[in-house]
Amino acid sequence: MADLSPFRGPREQAQFITTYDSIMRNWPIPFEEKDATTTFGETHIFASGHPSAPPLVLLHGASATSAMWSPIIAALSGTYRCYSIDTITDANKSVATQPVHGITDYVDWLQQIFSALGIAKARVAGLSYGGWLGALLALHAPDCVSHLVLLTPAATLAPLSIQFFVRMLTPSFLRSPFLMRRSAQWLSATPNATSDPTVELIVLNFMSCRPFRREMIPPTVLTDDDLRRISMPVTVLIGDRDVIYRGGPKAALARAQEFIPNVRTQLLQGANHMLTLDCPEALVAQISGALA
């Protein structure tokens, strides 16, 4: 189990979880915490909204934790039973006991969570790395997904830029909070983004974890045929200032429009990669329309 931990050590893990818990105490609505047992380990889940409401599964971005949904969770939980899942290969409250070796394992892990929660089919929304995971589930287990919302999905539609990798890896390797805050700000159109506790948690995540983590699989670009096979209603939302794609946000949206059969795309004005922070009101409006 120790080999699968993304943290540098027990002290860093304890500090991170303490900070994570303190941020979640300010979650804008009541929530329940659950742990789903899977063959890959214990997956931590934050559930909010009325238990009888339609399920909405939320998949967070890499290093962001479920805390990143804070700006929009109250609005979404007014209509849906939201399940915010801590990705098992990332640094959060989930604990991996078996490695995830590839895409098939990720899909299996998500299906086991659905089973543990008693969900046959759900609406799924994922941001960045979580968008890639949502796309994999829709592609390989389509019966689980009724509607899919991809929020600036990592890779999936277009390669990630070299600058993205440099800006993410360098601060972690050098253990530099200053450089990590600069990188976090680079991902956001919101001035002083790191003053937000959920963004500062991302900074702490990078400082608390090993820089090279084999347990977390890099996101991939789906093939044209893969995209054609995603048949449920899909909405792709990307900020017009997003910096992660090698060809820019418009090229990523154009590829979704060309190959995904039942797709709606929207370029969100004035937003960068951190959509929940940069444009929460517009995001809620777009997601609500997509899931209706």
* Catalytic entry in 44, 60, 147, 273: 273
Per DSSP, the three-state class of 248 is coil
Q: Decide if 147 contacts 290 (C-beta within 8 A).
A: yes
Active-site residue flag, 147 = no
Whole-number Å distance between alpha carbons of 38 and 110: 9
From the list 101, 94, 141, 109, the residue with the least C-alpha distance to 122 is: 141
Angle at CA of residue 204, ends 161 and 273, nearest 5°: 35
Q: Decide if 79 contacts 73 (C-beta within 8 A).
A: no
From the list 206, 221, 215, the residue with the least C-alpha distance to 135 is: 221
Per DSSP, the three-state class of 8 is coil
Q: Decide if 152 contacts 273 (C-beta within 8 A).
A: yes
Whole-number Å distance between alpha carbons of 110 and 143: 13
Provide the annotated active-site residues: 273
